[in-house]
Homo-oligomer: A and B are copies of this chain.
Amino acid sequence: METIPLQRKVLSENDRIAAGLRERLQARGILCLNLISSPGSGKTSLLEQTLAQLPPELRPAVLTGDIQTENDANRLKRFCPRVQQITTGGACHLDARMVETALAAWPLGEIDLLLIENVGNLVCPASYDLGEAAKLVLLSVTEGEDKPLKYPSIFFKAELLIINKIDLLPYVPFDLAKAEENATKVHPGVEIIRTSCTTRAGLDEWLQWLQRRMQAARQNLGNTAAGAAG
């Protein structure tokens, strides 16, 4: 009996769409970030703070994934005219086709930064490329410092770990140094920023990271154009 490698085929289809998306976004110098965390780690709050503090000349767009409700999109629309909710209707992650379909509604020439808030889930979203330049993982201090070891895939794949809700550190048994040590065990050299959306601690550092990455995206675009012209 012949065995059909279905899983590989499904993943490849996603990878193919994601690669096309990445190429289109890079060709326009758009930085695309894929934010992943457990439910309630503060992805939407971080996006609210980010959108409120971005320089006015920047043109962000946000796709926010949830199984049900438009709550997150409604929260974010107060800060940004380009926000779309992707309601998966049961699926535990966003995939590249959902992103491609949603993006068709916007002229890409009017976007500098595409922020994708994935479904709240520390497991499945790690396996689906959305065409992003980088995955980011959020971990709130209420979740425990063992999470990088227990959910290694996303901590390995994320370029940046944001340890959020540090204002709650006095009230929870969370060992910050141990959490960072665990993350570094899984992903040596991973960048780490500590934030609180309540006290705004660490948000400047996060915004600087974001600006550096946006500059790099535009720089790459310049190099590619120069290369093509040369």
Contact = CB atoms under 8 A, between A and B. Distances in A.
Given A40-B142, A144-B40, A123 B171 contact: no
Interface stretch (A15-23, A55-63, A65-73, A202-210): A65-73
Interface stretch (A96-104, A114-122, A222-230): A114-122
Given A39-B38, A40-B38, A149 B92 contact: no
A147 interface: yes
Contacts of A69: 146, 149-150
A168 B165 CA distance: 12
Nearest to A88: B123
Contact of A71 (B6, B67, B146): B146
Contact of A123 (B40, B124, B149): B124
Given A67-B150, A149-B68, A152-B67, A39 B142 contact: no
A92 B124 contact: yes
B150 A120 contact: yes
A143 to B, nearest CB: 3
B123 A122 contact: no
A216 interface: no
Interface residues of A, number: 33
A122 B120 CA distance: 8
Q: Which of A39, A90, A147, A149 has the most CB of B within 10 A?
A: A39
Contact of A92 (B40, B123, B143): B123
A151 interface: yes
Given A68-B152, A71-B150, A121 B119 contact: no
A181 to B, nearest CB: 14
A153 B68 CA distance: 10
A172 interface: yes
Closest 10 CB pairs of A and B: A40-B143, A92-B123, A142-B142, A38-B38, A38-B39, A40-B144, A69-B149, A39-B122, A69-B150, A92-B124
